[in-house]
Structure formats: C-alpha cells, structure tokens
Amino acid sequence: MKTIHTAAELKQCITDQKKADRTIGFVPTMGYLHEGHLSLIRRAKAENDYVIVSIFVNPLQFGPNEDFDRYPRDIERDQMLAAESGTDLLFHPSVEMMYPKQPTVTLKVSERADVLCGGSRKGHFDGVATVVAKLFMLTQPDRAYFGLKDAQQVSVIEAMVSDLNLPVNIVPCDTVREKDGLAKSSRNVFLTKEERTEAAGIYAALKEAGEMLLSGMNVNEAQKRFGRSLAQRVSGEVDYAEILSYPELLPPNDNSARLIAAAAVKYSKARLIDNILIDRSSDGKEKRNNDV
C-alpha cells in the first residue's frame, strides 16, 4: 500500500490506473478506522481492481462547538488496518491541501438535509456534499462505498450524484455492529463504561420500531412508542427518534413502502447515531437488512 498526501500525486496514480483499464473503488473516511470501515474496504477490494481509501477530517461539516479538534486521529494505526484490508492507495491530505483558500464555491443541499442530523447541525450536509464531490473529482472512482449507519448521508450523496450526473456508482453497505447491537463508530471510544453498556439500547429500540411497523401498526403510533422506548432505555439526551420515508426523508403515511427509523443520542462526550431501514412492500413482511 502506498500513502500519498497531494492532489498531484493522486492524479498520477489515477492516470496510471486508467491507462491500465483498471476499475477504481473508493472508500472515503475521516479515519480512526474500525470494522465498519474495514468491511467497506474489503467489499471494494472484492469488486474492483484498485482500491483508494481517503482519510480526511473535513472541517466544513463540523459546526461551532462540535468535536472537530477532538475527533480521534491515529494515522499510523489507520495505515496498518487499511493495508491489511486490501487498500492499494491511501490518500491522506491536509486541510491546507484540500482547502488552500476560502472556497469560492460550495454545494448547498436543498432537500433531505433539514431533518434527523441535519435538523440540529445546520450546514452539516452542505459540508459533506462539498467534500465528497471534491474527493470524487480527485479520485475518479467507478464505485464509492458508504456505510448505512449514516443512511441520511447515503441518501444525500445518492441524490447529489444523480442531480449532478457524476460518473460514479454509489454502493450502500450494511451497518456493522458489536455483539450487543451497538453500531461501530469512531466516537464509541468517548463513551464511559456505563454509557457503553446502555448504548446497546439504541439498537434495541430501533428493532422494536421496525417490528411494530412490519406488524402493520399505524406510523404515528409506532413513532410515539419508538420515542418512549428509546427514552426509557438510555440516560443520554435523545436528539431525535424519528420514522420517515426513505430515501426522501419526508413524513411518511401508512402507505409508505420504504421507511427509516433513526435515532441520535447525546452522551457526555459523544453523540451516537443509528438507524434501520424497513421495507413494507409486497405483503408488508419484507425488511431490508442493513446490519452485519
């Protein structure tokens, strides 16, 4: 595996791969890799000739008083894990390389961004869309891999690619979980022992919501029960516990076939997000499994 830091180096690597007619799989990350990231890398390796992983903590997607400076970083550890998982090229640019000056043009996400995480993090998905579009331009991948733990992000990026006719195939990948159901996340290291134990209740409440919806329960009633269940299971502050249509992220009705049940909980030093996707098409008994 080779590690590079500049756009010029990356351009040469991309040129070499294109000349050799190799397909490129891309996994964008903010580093501090865990099994969720590694599963994306392994899938990219299985489906492409050449795999690029980026590690870049993007300041544009962090708001005031958020954890940009505290976001965990360990590039040597990440290099080892990325190499072991099949990465061919690790792109690790600096903030100065990615944004040498104040951006003249950024992207504005007009839909799907003002609910769930976007409801309390204004401008967050504008920053996500801007950096992902920039990374797509730099890496020119055939396929890009994203975890469904942040299904809202996947929805926004899929819409961006469609709207801008970007020549990349987005591959959503299943959420990877601990044995007790907690979604793997770089922020889990900030949980206290007690918080870590009870955080599994987030997924338990989500599964309960999914079961209610698949049983034919009215969406509004399922929403109320979901919120109560989550609040009873965790001591952290519930940022949201919502059921929406997917991928539109609009208020659903009882005829909505595809739904997302999503939650965010703020603990003392970490904010955790999780979701499940529910498919009520056909006989109403099908469920899309976005867990590993």
Q: Which of 139, 173, 207 is the last residue of a domain?
A: 173
Q: Are residues 65 and 160 in the same domain?
A: yes
Can you give the pLDDT at residue 285? Answer: 46
Mean pLDDT value across the chain: 94
Q: Which of 13-22, 67-76, 180-189, 261-270 has the lowest mean pLDDT?
A: 67-76
Can you give the pLDDT at residue 35? Answer: 93
What's 13's domain CATH number? Answer: 3.40.50.620
Can you give the pLDDT at residue 65? Answer: 73
27 and 37 Cβ atoms separated by less than 8 Å: yes
Can you give the pLDDT at residue 286? Answer: 45
- Which tokens belong to 157? 């990026």
Preceding omega of 247 cis (within 30 degrees of 0) = yes
Q: Given the DSSP bridges, would you call strands 271-279 and 258-266 parallel, antiparallel or unpaired?
A: antiparallel
Q: What is the phi/psi pair of residue 137, to 5°?
A: -65, -40
**Residue 160 structural domain:** 2-173
What's 269's domain CATH number? Answer: 3.30.1300.10
pTM of the model: 0.92
Which residue positions form the known binding site for ATP? 30-37, 147-150, 176, 184-187
pLDDT in tens, 133-148: 999 999 999 999 999 9
Can you give the pLDDT at residue 52? Answer: 98
> Residue 84: is its pLDDT beyond 50?
yes
pLDDT in tens, 193-249: 999 999 999 999 999 999 999 999 999 999 999 999 999 999 999 999 999 999 999
Structural domain includes residue 287: no
Structural domain includes residue 179: no
Q: Which of 130, 146, 173 is the last residue of a domain?
A: 173
Q: Are residues 32 and 146 in the same domain?
A: yes
Q: Are residues 133 and 239 in the same domain?
A: no
Can you give the pLDDT at residue 107? Answer: 96
Q: Are residues 260 and 146 in the same domain?
A: no
Can you tell me the mean pLDDT for 168-189? 95
Which residue positions form the known binding site for beta-alanine? 61
How far apart, in whole angstroms, are the C-alpha atoms of residue 243 and residue 206?
10
pLDDT band at 126 (very low <50, low <70, confident <90, very high): very high
How far apart, in whole angstroms, are the C-alpha atoms of residue 8 and residue 131?
18
Q: Are residues 262 and 124 in the same domain?
A: no
Can you give the pLDDT at residue 284? Answer: 45
pLDDT band at 56 (very low <50, low <70, confident <90, very high): very high
Can you tell me the mean pLDDT for 141-164? 98
pLDDT in tens, 88-109: 999 999 999 999 999 999 999 9
Can you give the pLDDT at residue 7? Answer: 97
pLDDT band at 291 (very low <50, low <70, confident <90, very high): low
Which residue positions form the known binding site? 30-37, 61, 147-150, 153, 176, 184-187
> Residue 292: is its pLDDT beyond 80?
no
Q: What is the 3-state secondary structure (H, E, C) of the chain?
A: CEEECCHHHHHHHHHHHHHCCCCEEEEEECCCCCHHHHHHHHHHHHHCCEEEEEECCCHHHCCCCCCCCCCCCCHHHHHHHHHHCCCCEEECCCHHHHCCCCCCCCCCCCCCCCCCHHHHCCCHHHHHHHHHHHHHHHHCCCEEEEEHHHHHHHHHHHHHHHHHCCCCEEEEECECECCCCCECCHHHHHCCHHHHHHCHHHHHHHHHHHHHHHCCCCHHHHHHHHHHHHHHHCCCEEEEEEEEECCCCCCCCCCCCEEEEEEEEECCCCEEEEEEEEECCCCCCCCCCCEC
Structural domain includes residue 289: no
CB 85: neighbour CB atoms within 10 A? 22
Q: Are residues 217 and 159 in the same domain?
A: no
174 and 290 Cβ atoms separated by less than 8 Å: yes
Q: Which of 174, 173, 199 is nearest to 188 (CA)?
A: 199
Q: Are residues 146 and 92 in the same domain?
A: yes
Structural domain includes residue 230: yes
Q: Are residues 24 and 103 in the same domain?
A: yes
Structural domain includes residue 178: no
Structural domain includes residue 180: no
Cα 150–Cα 261–Cα 111 angle in degrees, nearest 5: 60
> Residue 59: is its pLDDT beyond 50?
yes
Q: Are residues 7 and 85 in the same domain?
A: yes
Q: Which of 173, 201, 228 is the last residue of a domain?
A: 173
Q: Is 92 a catalytic residue?
A: no
Q: Are residues 130 and 205 in the same domain?
A: no
Structural domain includes residue 285: no
Structural domain includes residue 133: yes
Q: Are residues 166 and 227 in the same domain?
A: no
Tell me how many domains the chain contains: 2
Q: Are residues 225 and 270 in the same domain?
A: yes
